[in-house]
A and B are shown apart, each in its own frame.
Chain A
């Protein structure tokens, strides 16, 4: 935990776990999708399901899907912004199982009627058609993503994260980490999951800094790798500010 996470984040109230954390999880989902969603469905678990409205969890989740950072004062009017920007959203409650009380399942879709997981993966670094992300808000604005498109992974959004869709073949991990190492980037955490032996697989690699464009291009040349995405850190105010700028630019195009 960095000192600026203890005195921080700068955020819109009222709750670091139920507002700022919720916003961050949805922001991570949007970054994974890679474009502005037109549909968002949020399935709230536990304390999130019980107290969502009072803590503005609902507003914060929609705001994150819109690309707003936790300190964006537009969070308080996120529903109006969503209507204006053409984001259709809805909320459900469900028991997501043995997970942290503040957990949510986020389904984003870049196309209407596409909020069903497993809609196919584009090549390269293209935007996904849909994404399903499960995450928990741990308190103090810290979050943990624990599944992407039903692959069990783990990342926190505290540092740049490389998401890779690949085929489960011998040596993929070694090749990916070799490229990251040659880029002089340190790996913090690495999670890998597969649907079945030799089948579709996904990995999340938390890095101390984002890998270079050249390294990302090189990874995409590997035959076992179909898609990758660099998710920026969404913990520090500085990076959050960048998100606001890029989200605003995207919305105005």
Chain B
């Protein structure tokens, strides 16, 4: 299945994903039940992460989600704050070896729950409404993975957080009633505006900038959904955007692909922290 096929569907995009899977009734029920389980796990990780200030293994992160969640909302944008806090809650749980749902990877695990559950809680929507959008998120991820293996070591952060943001954007769009075309273009716009992002974790740990990055790209996904729901579309066809991302991923030098040897990791302070942690 291509994103063009998906966008052309006359049913909601998640339905098209399910049809494409060609599942027998019992397999379909197992899949939906599995997704409900994933949602429950995501919620659990958010709940743990929002109240914990236990430091990660390195001590670089662990209190960000709780701090934001308990801070005054000076901007008076509760959706923004909620989405950011949820996303970081998941990734801080991840950094302290807590249970999370990889979506599609562990390093990008906060984006989909941050955006999807954040928006749902903001609007007071029940979890039942989130199962189909989560199926769509998975379907988008699967299509992307057919072009590029989704890993920072393969294509940089754009492959990980770009994919998670695209998946989340499509899911939020469908949740809010967007049709298949809107959902797929939300994914494309989110991915297009993530292209080039490198994977440069300090010391090689999935903490800095990974935790805050999930907050930023969960918001990014919600922004993209907002554009798509208003009728905006990606000028470049969604499949070509995926190709472009993959192409840029192949151009990235190894230093910028999860080795901890370039970018933020290669700053004087990043190098010092890495040395201290290696001891």
Interface residue tally for chain A (C-beta within 8 Å): 37
Q: How far is the CB of B275 from chain A (nearest CB, A)?
A: 13
Minimum CB distance partner of B18 in chain A: A3
A4 CB contact (under 8 Å) in B35, B98, B107:
B35
Per the bound structure, the CA–CA distance linking A200 and B259 in Å amounts to 41
Whether B231 is near chain A, meaning CB under 8 Å from some CB there, is no
Minimum CB distance partner of B58 in chain A: A54
- The 8 A CB mask of B115-156 against A (1 = contact, 0 = none) is 000000000000000000011011101100100011101100
Interface residue tally of chain B, by bracket? 35 or more
B38 CB contact (under 8 Å) in A10, A47, A59, A76:
A10
* B138 partner residues in chain A, CB cutoff 8 A: 3-4, 6-7
Per the bound structure, the CA–CA distance linking A14 and B93 in Å amounts to 8
Whether B172 is near chain A, meaning CB under 8 Å from some CB there, is no
Choose, from B174-182, B203-211, B236-244, the stretch at the interface. B203-211
Q: How far is the CB of B92 from chain A (nearest CB, A)?
A: 9
Whether B55 is near chain A, meaning CB under 8 Å from some CB there, is no
Whether A19 is near chain B, meaning CB under 8 Å from some CB there, is yes
Please tell me if the beta carbons of A20 and B57 are within 8 angstroms of each other in the complex: no
Please tell me if the beta carbons of A9 and B153 are within 8 angstroms of each other in the complex: no
B187-222 CB contacts (< 8 Å) to partner A:
203-207
Please tell me if the beta carbons of A140 and B105 are within 8 angstroms of each other in the complex: yes
Whether B227 is near chain A, meaning CB under 8 Å from some CB there, is no
The A-B contact count (CB < 8 A) is 140
* B167 partner residues in chain A, CB cutoff 8 A: 6
A11 CB contact (under 8 Å) in B57, B102, B135, B145:
B102
Given contacts A16-B102, A20-B106, A139-B153, contact A6 B93 (CB under 8 A): no
Please tell me if the beta carbons of B34 and A1 are within 8 angstroms of each other in the complex: no
User: Which B residues fall within an 8 A CB radius of A?
Assistant: 17, 21, 31, 34-35, 37-38, 41, 56-58, 93-107, 109, 112, 134-135, 137-139, 141-142, 145, 149-151, 153-154, 167, 203-207, 258-260, 277
Pairs of residues from A and B, 7 with the lowest C-beta to C-beta distance, nearest first: A13-B94, A139-B151, A3-B138, A6-B141, A76-B97, A51-B204, A6-B138
User: Which A residues fall within an 8 A CB radius of B?
Assistant: 1, 3-4, 6-17, 19-20, 47, 50-51, 54-56, 59, 71, 73, 75-76, 101-102, 138-141, 236-238
